[in-house]
Structure formats: structure tokens, C-alpha cells
Homo-oligomer: A and B are copies of this chain.
Amino acid sequence: MKKHLFKHITQLRVRNYEIDWQGIVHNANYLLFFEVGRIEYLKHIGLKLNLSSIQTDSRVVLVRNEIDYKNSAQFDDLLNIYTRVSYIKNTSFAFEGIIEDETAGRLIAENIAYHVWLHPKTGKPIRVRKDFRDKVGAFEGKNLRLIGEKK
């Protein structure tokens, strides 16, 4: 992934209970870290995400995760989590994420998380909501690909 395309960074410090029996961060925890990045990103661009909105108005589902593991993170590492929305299609969009170790500058893992926007009642895919398009578009600028949109 191209790090210069990312405009949002969150930091996390690896906690001891995230370390597995091999002495490194357990592979499933990176999914949690990328998710922290996405939630901070949404907060940052002004898309409020709280518990009640999620439980009453949940229309966005994660349909696919891809994670490439590059190096292992260790206990007490300070991690930079880069997050961006890379594209928005009609009914779907994708987040990309990069985790790197702040101190050593090593690349730890990369993630693409594919999401689909669903009608809360029918469960059918519907067009990605306008406020999401607008706020992500304003934040990402020309780095955001709008796929299948008429000009």
C-alpha cells in the first residue's frame, strides 16, 4: 500500500494480554487494531458513531477482510495505524489500513476491509448514504476513487 495516500493516523500501545504464547501479538488482534483505526477515522471526519446509532440504525456490514502480516509486533510497541477509505461504489466501499511500529518504522500489517450498505429492514444493499460520501469525499479529496459514478 502507498502510505502517502493516508491522511489519518491513530496510535496504540501493545498491551501485555495481546501477546500470545509465541511472544508476539496474536494475529487476530490486528483486526481489532484496524477496527480501532476505522472508528477513530469516522469520529475524526465527523461521522458520529455511538452505541445507540449502531444498535438502531445498523446498515453497514463488513463482508470481507484481507490481512497481510509483514512483521510481528511485540509487547509495549507503539503502533501507528493508518486508515483511509480507498473507494466508494454504489452500495459498497472499502477501508485500507497499515500498521507500522513507530520506533523502528517497520511495517507490521496491511488490511483491506470491504463493507456493504444495507437497508436496515429488508437487508438488501442500498446506495451508500450521502453524508458518508460527502464527509469521506471532503476528507480524502482526490485520493478517493468513486467507482461507477456518472460524471
Contact = CB atoms under 8 A, between A and B. Distances in A.
Contacts of A66: 64-66
A49 to B, nearest CB: 8
A36 B62 contact: no
Contact of A68 (B15, B31, B51, B64): B64
A74 B51 CA distance: 9
**Copies of this protein chain in the complex:** 4
Contact of A65 (B17, B43, B65): B65
A54 interface: yes
Interface of A, helix, strand, loop or mixed by DSSP: mixed
Contacts of A21: 16, 19-21, 23, 51, 54-55, 75
Interface of A: 15-17, 19-23, 26-29, 31-32, 35-36, 39, 43, 50-51, 54-55, 58, 61-69, 74-76
24 contacts: A15-B32, A15-B36, A16-B20, A16-B21, A16-B35, A19-B20, A19-B21, A20-B20, A22-B54, A23-B51, A23-B55, A27-B31, A27-B65, A28-B29, A28-B31, A28-B35, A31-B31, A50-B75, A61-B69, A62-B69, A63-B69, A64-B67, A64-B69, A65-B69
